[in-house]
Structures are given as C-alpha cells and as structure tokens.
Structure 1
Amino acid sequence: MGWIYLILAGLAEMGFVSLLKQTQGFSNPLATGGFLGCALLSFWLLTKATASIPVAVAYPVWVGLGAVGALLVGTLLHGEPMTPTKLLFSVLLIGSIVGLKQAA
C-alpha cells in the first residue's frame, strides 16, 4: 500500500507544480487554494507512504516523480521546450526511481 501512497503523492506534487505559475505570486486565490490543497495532500500521502517505505527511498522517489512531472507540465502545458538533454536526464531519473524501488 505504501507504493500506492507514494505514487499518489507524486501525482499530487505534479498538481501543485502545475498550479505554481498560475498562483501569480499567491495573488490568484483559486490557483493558490488548489496549490495549497495539492501540496498538503502530497505531503500527507508521503507521510503515509513512509509508514512502510524507508524515508531514504520514499523521499528521493517523491522528488523524482515531482521533477519529471514538472518537466512534463512545463512542456505540455506551458510550452517550454523539450530538449534532447532534458529527455536524456528525465529517462535517467526514471531509471533511478525504478532502481530505488527495486532496492527497497
């Protein structure tokens, strides 16, 4: 169950990352509320995940999911360029996440 919590925490992190730009420095109340809701949900799910997954594994996986999610959000929603270098390091990051899961 811990891995399900961790994946959901990563998805919630992608939610707050996707809303970060729309908060406009926390001056947009709706986007700010969504950002805060996703952030709280993400942290809560992360704490649930660490009940059965070591923090030394759960936290880097959570950060990695958020980093890849931020790259995807930036590329797909905000028109940021996807370069071969970004793609390469994203694949390496995903490989690291899979490796950490196998090592857990």
Structure 2
Amino acid sequence: MSAGWTYLLLAGVVEIAWVQSIPPTQGLSRPWPTLLCLVLCLGVIYLLALAARAMPISTAYLVFVGMGAAGAVLLGLLVHHDRLTLSRMTALALITAGVLLAHATTEHA
C-alpha cells in the first residue's frame, strides 16, 4: 500500500472518530469535548492533505467520504444498536464497491 493510501486510510479512521466526537460537545458548549472535536478535525484535514499529495484529490475525497459514511453506519449498528435493514446493507455494499472501484482505477505514481 502506498503512503497516499495509508494516509487516506488513517484520515478515514480519524474522521469516524471525529464524527463520534461531535455529539458530546453539546453544540460546542462543553470545552474539553469541543477541544477534542477540533483536534480530530484538524487531524482529518492534515491526513487528507497528505494523501492528496500522492493521488488525485477527487479519488482521495471519494474514498474518504465513503469510509466516513460506512464507518458511521457500522458504528450506528454496533455501538448505537441501530436496526440492520436491507437498505443499510445495500448502502454499505454500494459504498464498499465504490471505494474498491476508485482504488482499482486510480493511477499510481
């Protein structure tokens, strides 16, 4: 795996953590959860910028958003006990297929 894809994978993981850090801020009114949220957000931007050095930003962003969406759905199912429905399974399958297709069709330097 190239450095760009490694940074992109890390950006996706940090994005999932960042999204989960938003509700505890209670509208950015709690200082420590808000600080954590902002640090994670800056980390996401930094890692995505590093990934974009090695690949087209269109591919990086597509994969990044796909990982974030899939991660949010999976955490919803596993942590927040959201219902597993056919539409959610289909959405996860389509997101995964899109990310894999983007990876397979990206020219590597």
Q: Report the equivalent of 1:90.
A: 92
1:1-104 equivalence runs, <5 A: 1-104=3-106
Structure 1 window deviating more from structure 2 (77-86 vs 2-11): it is: 77-86
Quick one: distance in 2 between partners of 1:78 and 1:51? 36
Larger radius of gyration: 2
CA distances 1:8-47 after superposition (whole Å, capped 9, x unpaired): 0000000111112221111122221221111110110000
Quick one: distance in 2 between partners of 1:80 and 1:31? 24
Give the alignment's TM-score, normalised by structure 1. 0.92
Quick one: distance in 1 between partners of 2:24 and 2:79? 11
5+ unaligned residues in a row in structure 2: which ranges?
A: none
% same residue: 35
Structure 1 window deviating more from structure 2 (45-54 vs 83-92): it is: 83-92
Quick one: distance in 1 between partners of 2:82 and 2:6? 30
Quick one: distance in 1 between partners of 2:87 and 2:71? 16
Give the alignment's TM-score, normalised by structure 2. 0.89
Quick one: distance in 2 between partners of 1:44 and 1:67? 19
Length, aligned pairs only:
104
5+ unaligned residues in a row in structure 1: which ranges?
A: none
After superposition, the CA RMSD in angstroms is 1.1
CA distances 1:47-104 after superposition (whole Å, capped 9, x unpaired): 0000011011000100110111111222222232222211111111011101000010
